[in-house]
Amino acid sequence: MKTSRFVKVARMADLERKGCVVLQVEGHTIALFLHQGSLYAIDNRCPHMGFPLDRGTLQDGVLTCHWHHARFDLASGGTFDPWADDVRSFPVRVEGDEVWIDPSPRADEQARQLQRLEDGLQRNIRLVIAKSVIALVEKEENGHGPLQTGLSFGTRSRRDGWSMGLTILTCAANLLRSLNAHDRARALYHGLAAVAQDCDGQPPRVPMRPLPVLSTGPDPLKRWFRRYIEVRDAEGAERCLISALRGGGDPAQIADLLFAAATDHRYLSTGHVLDFTNKALEALDVVGWQHAEAVLPSVVLNYATADRMEESNAWRHPVDLVAILHAAFERLSDALETGARRQAAWGGRTALIPVLLGEDPRAIADALLTALREGATLQALGGAVAYAAALRIARFHTANEFGDWDTVLHTFTFANAVFQGLRRAPSPELARGLFDAAMSIYLDRFLNTPSAPLPKVEEGVLDSKRLLDELLTTLDRQQQVNEAGHLVARYLASGARAEPLLAALGHALFREDRDFHTIQAMEAAFRVYSLTEDPAEKVHVLIAAARYLAAHAPTPRAQGQTYQIAYRLHRGERIHEET
């Protein structure tokens, strides 16, 4: 509860003579106006970009800033220009000739900043978004408040549901633990600004209601959901999903329902359907399952409208990969049952990787089935397939078309989504995603022809800080793909801790203008790196991340300029005084 605490600041005689005085009161620069017989006190810094408001024009109770012409109600501080934000006003009272002001802190600053963020999202005002995120993360480094606000806004404000913006936001949230403190707010700013851009001018999403009587169990709802997705009936499928959620379906059951439908057809929309689903579930890991009803139905339209690779020439000719996959799926249950009876741990990962990167799709499918029969867990196979997909990026030759970076990226992020899904809710249905990812790795083989060699460096003590500085400088120049990969290899070969390297790569990522695929690639690489045990393989995954980032840097960094303005204003800098 806010308590009043007035302090004496001025004399009425001075105000009557000058009309306005500027005061320093307990760290605040306050403009005190005598206008039309009444006293008003407001923060003298324009909330837009900090220009002194005492230099503005005051007419009929409206104060206009002279820098960008933002207008404010003098009595309340409310703005008539949402891009400027409200200016803080202070309670004033007069006792004889003495003027008193209450500079007490606001009662609930976090609630105000969250509302400010909501306003910025609604109107797609990047500077307002940046200011609010900086203030919120300063008080709450984990970013839960901004993430939850962005999720809520994004899932209800775009009729077509989950898309790139919410994926970027979740990737940013996942990367926070690897970033230095000064980069965390910047990362969330990128994600939230992407959500605002996705939703700008879009009609809102109207959610379906659950079935009137929630007596149907999870198994029928799962069957119906898959049936309706099969015939591209998004509304019927969404009603099944919301009924399963309202009926008490637990996280594993709901994930199983979604993952089954996401792998009923091959490599839906180049992997985006499964990746979006995985990201929605990861977002709920952070903000809590109680938000599942609001978040998960937003992914359903992607299922119903997805491209299915059965309809793609590349998956049918000259080799019918779909036929190979369907034949493998007929043997999948037996392979899983045989493997479950094995007592020995699976040791075939090293031998499997070259097969996954090979030229024979039938041999690839057979190798996966053999691994399952030999006792490989679905999670272990998921890790192997994701690593093989990362190698396609690590060995991507720059002689290829630039757009083909996206081809290997899609395979890698899909393989990572399968891997993370199998860790969350393993099932025979989702296991099909392993085979889909393996076939996509096979199709990408021409992008490793010729193959860029993996950097070979000698171990030894090096100046790790100098290497990180050199990496950031290298990423200031275009197309330093091989150089960036080599620097990562040298750094890790020096024996230095990986955490500073991850933080440097994260800084390099978020100083750029956001690129959906680059953020996807980095987040997936960090996740696969953290779950990979073999030291050499860990190096290869980060080489892949650095090479992909280098291929897409530098950008104009215009979005970073907006963030930097917000950060400097938050620090109280006087931007308007610079020459």
- pLDDT bin (cut points 50, 70, 90) of residue 88 is very high
- Residue listed under structure tokens 């192997």: 384
* pLDDT per residue as tens digits for the range 148-170: 999 999 999 999 999 999 999 99
pLDDT value, residue 579: 43
Pairwise CA distance, residues 422 & 431, whole Å: 8
Q: How far apart are CA 121 and CA 113, in angstroms?
A: 12
**Cα–Cα nearest to 462, from 494, 499, 487, 501:** 494
- pLDDT of residue 3 exceeding 70, the answer is no
At how many degrees (to 10) do helices 144-156 and 181-199 cross? Answer: 10
Structural contact between residues 375 and 344, judged by C-beta atoms closer than 8 angstroms: yes
Cis-peptide into 554, omega within 30 deg: yes
* Contacting residues for 443 by C-beta, under 8 A, at least 6 apart: 314, 315, 321, 411
pLDDT band at 344 (very low <50, low <70, confident <90, very high): confident
pLDDT tens string 352-383? 999 999 999 999 999 999 999 999 999 999 99
What is the CATH architecture of 218-309? Up-down Bundle (1.20)
- Closest listed residue to residue 110, CA positions, set 55, 156, 148: 148
Per-residue pLDDT reduced to its tens digit, 300-329: 999 999 999 999 999 999 999 999 999 999
At 108 the pLDDT is: 83
Q: Are 144 and 286 in contact (CB under 8 A)?
A: yes
> For position 461, what pLDDT does the model report?
63
What would the pLDDT profile of 165-222 be if each residue is shown by its tens digit?
Answer: 999 999 999 999 999 999 999 999 999 999 999 999 999 999 999 999 887 789 999 9
- Asked if residue 455 has a cis previous peptide bond (ω within 30° of 0), the answer is no
pLDDT digits (tens, 9 = 90+) for 522-578: 999 999 999 999 999 999 999 999 999 999 999 999 999 999 999 999 988 888 776
Residue 476: per-residue pLDDT: 97
Q: pLDDT tens for residues 432-473?
A: 999 999 999 999 999 999 999 999 877 766 789 999 999 999
Torsion of CA 530, 535, 536, 540, to 10 degrees: 20
Kindly tell me if the per-residue pLDDT of 343 is higher than 80: no
Q: Who wins on pLDDT, 435 or 27?
A: 435
Q: Where residue 290 falls among pLDDT bands split at 50, 70, 90?
A: very high
Three-class DSSP category at 34: strand
- Which option is the CATH number for 7-101: 2.60.120.200, 3.40.50.150, 2.102.10.10, 3.30.110.60? 2.102.10.10
The residue-averaged pLDDT of 325-348 equals 94
